[in-house]
Chains A and B, each alone.
Chain A
């Protein structure tokens, strides 16, 4: 429902996983296969000598330290910033509006209806139900369009299709009030509250 960048998550996790996997397998090979040792020493010594030559050629005038260290530090800062930006993208997409549009009337301006309207109305309608252990209503913005997510936690043994039909009827009533059909997702979930609460008595 939210705007978590799922493809990006997969790609970045996959890259990290592959790298760690290759490093780990290399270490295991070095530890177990005797013939791998000389090959690794020869290959990595070549790479390292190339790099150390590069460091020697790029010295700061007047000092012996290479300016590549500063570049490396900046690069690492960049990677850290990118990681923080990536984490900040997770679970984004909550918004406070269920309707935000120009009503195309004579007066300039937009019509905005807050998500609290839907939340309060649905909460009040669901509060009397004995078969629910909890209900949450949240508004999201999906590709610029507002959408509503209703999360229900029924008690044990409640038939989900009947509950969904009832809540769907409530949503249609809300449509009539608001005057616009927003996409609605009803998630009937089994949370800890429904798991440990008493079962519904009327059977």
Chain B
């Protein structure tokens, strides 16, 4: 016997606000000069960590090169490898090393390079939204928005916190509700309450809302 007769067929209602409130308008001036710039910087990654890794990498490579060059300059025997021998080995490259090892070294180097390159090129947007405020610039982590919306959806659906999951991304909010067996959950009521909360919150950019109610219920919740 299927307990889920009370649950509506699975499907997702969607409702969205196309209005993009990314431009704060004239209010930006009252919050002090440079607030626009501060908010822009707060919603993007600074790449400080990746920069640190890159700098350490370059310092290590240069440190080794420095050691060998200094040893060579004062006429001492080399530490690991003589620079000239190293250069000759590089010139003769496909020989002198198993091709598999060479290929793996090359692949790893290329992956590391790709990691740094993509970090430099991609926008690096953080999972944050802006709220409008007359006095201060307000940045909210998406997780906080999600937990606020989850609370609202939970109250509308009358279920326990474990039965609601909300995922907030830049342009979309996904609310999934697992109803209690035998207790109907109105998808429209959940959608309406989440939309109302979002309208009061007015995050920029305004995401679309999707509500999906699971077809199977939870027993004993």
- Give the B-binding residues of A (Cβ under 8 A): 1-2, 4, 6, 9-14, 16-32, 34, 36-37, 40-41, 44-45, 48, 51-52, 63, 65, 67, 69-70, 72-73, 76-77, 79-80, 83-84, 86-87, 90-91, 142-143, 145, 147, 150, 154, 156-161, 164-165, 167-168, 171-172, 175, 181-190, 199, 203
Contacts and interface: CB of A to CB of B under 8 A. Distances in A.
A1 B42 CA distance: 6
Given A87-B52, A190-B147, 18 more contacts: A6-B47, A20-B112, A21-B117, A24-B106, A27-B93, A31-B94, A45-B91, A51-B87, A52-B84, A87-B51, A91-B48, A145-B32, A158-B147, A160-B148, A168-B136, A185-B137, A189-B144, A203-B155
Contacts of A20: 109-110, 112-113, 116
A147 B38 contact: yes
A16 B73 contact: no
A65 B72 contact: yes
B59 A72 contact: no
A143 B136 contact: no
Given A73-B66, A76-B62, A164 B138 contact: yes
Contacts of A187: 42, 138-141
Contacts of B75: 63, 65
Contacts of A31: 94, 99-100, 102-103, 106
B143 interface: yes
A14 B48 contact: no
A175 B32 CA distance: 12
B52 A90 contact: yes
Contacts of B9: none
Contacts of A11: 120
B131 interface: yes
A4 B38 contact: no
B41 interface: yes
Contact of B69 (A72, A83, A175): A72
A154 B113 contact: no
Interface string B30-53: 011111011101101011101110
A14 B161 CA distance: 44
A15 B63 CA distance: 19
B119 interface: yes
Given A159-B201, A160-B131, A183 B55 contact: no
Q: From DSSP, what is the main secondary structure of chain B's interface residues?
A: helix
Contacts of B32: 145, 147, 181-184
Contacts of B50: 9, 13
A160 to B, nearest CB: 5
Contacts of B39: 185
Nearest to A187: B139
A185 B136 contact: yes
Contacts of A40: 93-94
Contacts of A44: 90-91, 93
A80 B121 CA distance: 24
Contacts of A48: 87-88, 91
B113 A69 contact: no
B15 interface: no
Contact of A9 (B51, B93, B155): B51
B63 A80 contact: yes
4 closest cross-chain pairs (CB), A and B: A27-B106, A24-B110, A20-B113, A17-B116
Nearest to A79: B62
Q: Tell me which of A13, A73, A158 has the highest count of chain B C-beta atoms within 10 A of its own C-beta.
A: A13
